[in-house]
Amino acid sequence: MINFKSIIAEELTKVTNITNIEEYIEIPTNKEMGDYSLPCFKLAKELKKAPQAIASEIKEKLNIDKELISKIDVVNGYLNFYVNTVAITKSVFEEIEIKKEQYGSDEIGKGKNIVIDYSSPNIAKPFHIGHLRSTVIGSALYKIYKFLGYNVIGINHLGDYGTQFGKLIEGYKRWGNEYNINENPIDELTKIYVRINDLCKEDENVLEECRNNFKKLEDGDQYCTEIWERFRELSLKEFQRIYDLLDVHFDSLNGEAFYSDKMDEIVDILDKSGKLVESEGAKVINLDEKNMPPCLIKKSNDSTTYATRDLAAILYRARTYDFDKALYVTSYEQILHFKQVFEVAKLLGIDEKYTDNLIHVPFGMVQLKTGKMSTREGNIVKLEDLLNEAIDRARKIIEEKNPNLENKEEVAKNVGIGAVIFNDLYNSRIKDEIFDWDIMLNFNGETGPYIQYMFVRTKSILEKVEKLPLVSEIDFNLLKDKHSVELISEIYKFNEVLKQSAEKNEPYIISRYLINISQLFSSFYNENKIICEDEKLQNARIYLTYCTNIVLKTGANLLGIKMPNKM
């Protein structure tokens, strides 16, 4: 596809001798100010002239092919470039004809490894609404990076280790025969956990027993290990149902327990660094110089911590995956934890290319519209219940609007789950997410169902023609009206949007883009008769509809949203 920005930059370099001038080129927010703009204020100091004079002089010297850039003008120190509408239409149509569903993909990540650590629920505990964001954001980033050519390793770093398992083992020892954990494992294990927790508050000796159980688990005690393995296997079966609903996949399920035999090496390395010191019987790394509290490596009873296991994971992932980036998708509550861990990782003796590319991708909390979470089961909203409710609500809307729709169940699932995912990814991840069913499932707002509805409309139009025209048959001059040009220009940006989303680890950039495409297509559809008597005009408009269809489906799939064929 023609890279108009690079062509403009190349010509600007020739007349200014500024080699990095492409970095200065902007895309104006006001379309009337051109497709690309050079703010000459940034060159004033270097060229020792007024911005307006610089812009005028550059314009006089430029010699850009008018078949690519139709107009250049100077406005208040800005040099504005207008792309030839025929050139951009031809470029987009030809690229989509070749790439089809791969339109927007890239090879910028070729030969680079990205590790993404996401979802990470605790086994033997409910998979609740709080895990939704890590799962959905991480899965979207996984798909985006992969589409850009990176080799991506998705890791579900399960919470399958720690003192809580000492408590669970103790509770199971005492009351296991009172609970049917095979039938309803997570709920039953939660009851055991609540019960033993209450007992620990009353009796310090019981809490000590729980700590000892975890130490036994770390030391490979057969009884404790067998119980733990059973809890893990039952939990993973339960979790898989939710991952199947969300269509989320992982390349590794190595959780915290996987690193149990790898932590002695971490302690040894840190010890040899001379930075590991004793504090009240525990072992810590002081981080005073970094204005952070100490990083706890070993507790006073000699058991390990989250930090120790995260450090072991960093060392293992560097050796195993030779990563160029390692992303950790967790809530902003863990910002300090990861700052500490990433700082201590510099003492592990691994190459800086690893420690410099450890990236925490924090996100905000999830809230219901009422501002607090509550169900009959306490303060936990189970994710599976929430997804099923989304599907139920979508099903009711379909029954009201289109009771004779084929494959109603599949459509309800795609719309309901799509609405939940889109709602999660519509704003910058650091913002807290508000759950409002009325907004999420609105077919007219800036929602998942809205982009699905627009996709279905494009599909319905395409089904009315016998075959898709070849790009060689299309007269590009027939797509010069305002609505066609705006839609084509936006479709042209798809690859840039994907790269920006990956660069910032922000899927919402794609979500907002898809809303924009949907709204522009709606305007194009309302202002132009697509199926018409003029065959040449119809061919041009049909192909633009096809391009919109491709971008909506590809973009939605990258977010984890499936498109229904009918609604």
| 337 catalytic residue (yes or no) | no
Domain membership flag for residue 134: no
Query: Span 303-324, mean pLDDT?
Result: 95
Q: 127-141, 374-388, 541-555: which has the highest mean pLDDT? A: 541-555
Which pLDDT score, from 0 to 100, does residue 378 have?
Answer: 45
Q: Where are the strands (E) in 124-272, listed by range? A: 151-155
Q: 415 and 543 in one domain?
A: yes
pLDDT of residue 565 exceeding 60, the answer is yes
Give residues with Cβ within 8 angstroms of 454, minimum separation 6. Answer: 517, 518, 521, 522, 548, 552
Question: Which of 192, 227, 247 corresponds to the end of one domain?
Answer: 247
Local confidence band at 435 (pLDDT 50, 70, 90 cut-offs): confident
Q: 77 and 179 in one domain?
A: no
pLDDT of residue 377 exceeding 70, the answer is no
Q: 180 and 48 in one domain?
A: no
CATH number, position 55: 3.30.1360.70
The region of weakest confidence among 112-116, 217-221, 279-283 is 217-221
Which pLDDT score, from 0 to 100, does residue 366 have?
Answer: 80
The residue from 125, 143, 167, 298 that is catalytic is 125
Q: 409 and 518 in one domain?
A: yes
345 within 8 A of 313, measured Cβ to Cβ: no
275/285 Cα distance (integer angstroms)? 6
pLDDT of residue 379 exceeding 70, the answer is no
pLDDT of residue 304 exceeding 90, the answer is no
Which pLDDT score, from 0 to 100, does residue 163 have?
Answer: 81
58/24 Cα distance (integer angstroms)? 14
The residue from 90, 128, 325, 459 that is catalytic is 128
65/87 Cα distance (integer angstroms)? 11
Q: 65 and 174 in one domain?
A: no
Please give the structure tokens belonging to residue 331.
Answer: 């809530």
Q: 76 and 174 in one domain?
A: no
Evaluated on CA atoms 132, 137, 140, 142, the torsion sign reads: negative
Domain membership flag for residue 41: yes
Domain membership flag for residue 496: yes
Which pLDDT score, from 0 to 100, does residue 345 have?
Answer: 98
Question: Which of 220, 247, 274 corresponds to the end of one domain?
Answer: 247
Please give the structure tokens belonging to residue 60.
Answer: 């006089």
Domain membership flag for residue 402: yes
Which pLDDT score, from 0 to 100, does residue 376 have?
Answer: 33
pLDDT of residue 480 exceeding 90, the answer is yes
Q: 172 and 47 in one domain?
A: no
pLDDT of residue 381 exceeding 80, the answer is no
Q: 168 and 58 in one domain?
A: no
Share of the chain above pLDDT 90, in %: 82
Query: Span 176-192, mean pLDDT?
Result: 90
18/40 Cα distance (integer angstroms)? 12
Q: 551 and 416 in one domain?
A: yes
Q: Tell me how many domains the chain contains.
A: 3
The residue from 5, 49, 131, 325 that is catalytic is 131
Map tokens 């970094």 to a residue.
290
Q: Which residue range forms the structural domain that includes residue 25?
A: 4-83
Domain membership flag for residue 302: no
DSSP assigned state of 94: H
Which pLDDT score, from 0 to 100, does residue 371 have?
Answer: 53
The region of weakest confidence among 6-20, 121-135, 460-474 is 121-135
Domain membership flag for residue 267: no
pLDDT in tens, 240-259: 999 999 999 999 999 999 99
Give residues with Cβ within 8 angstroms of 465, minimum separation 6. Answer: 531, 538, 542
Query: Span 318-328, mean pLDDT?
Result: 98
| 146 catalytic residue (yes or no) | no
Which pLDDT score, from 0 to 100, does residue 436 have?
Answer: 80
CATH number, position 543: 1.10.730.10
Which pLDDT score, from 0 to 100, does residue 380 have?
Answer: 67
| 157 catalytic residue (yes or no) | no
Share of the chain above pLDDT 70, in %: 98
Mean model confidence pLDDT for the chain: 93
Local confidence band at 439 (pLDDT 50, 70, 90 cut-offs): confident
Give residues with Cβ within 8 angstroms of 48, minimum separation 6. Answer: none
Which pLDDT score, from 0 to 100, does residue 368 have?
Answer: 67
Return the bridge partners of 71, or none.
Answer: 82
Which pLDDT score, from 0 to 100, does residue 162 have?
Answer: 79
In degrees and rounded to multiples of 5, residue 181 shows phi and psi of -75, -15
pTM value?
0.93
Query: Span 296-316, mean pLDDT?
Result: 92
78 within 8 A of 39, measured Cβ to Cβ: yes
Q: 185 and 59 in one domain?
A: no
Please give the structure tokens belonging to residue 315.
Answer: 């060392």
529/541 Cα distance (integer angstroms)? 8
Query: Span 45-53, mean pLDDT?
Result: 89
Domain membership flag for residue 199: yes
In degrees and rounded to multiples of 5, residue 380 shows phi and psi of -110, 130
Question: Which of 205, 222, 247 corresponds to the end of one domain?
Answer: 247
Domain membership flag for residue 492: yes
Q: What 3-state DSSP class applies to 221?
A: coil
Q: 529 and 399 in one domain?
A: yes
Local confidence band at 491 (pLDDT 50, 70, 90 cut-offs): very high
Task: Choose among 126, 152, 155, 131: nearest CA to 258.
Answer: 155
Query: Span 432-438, mean pLDDT?
Result: 80
Query: Span 55-62, mean pLDDT?
Result: 94
Q: 404 and 533 in one domain?
A: yes
**Cα separation of the two ends of the chain:** 34
Q: What 3-state DSSP class applies to 404?
A: coil
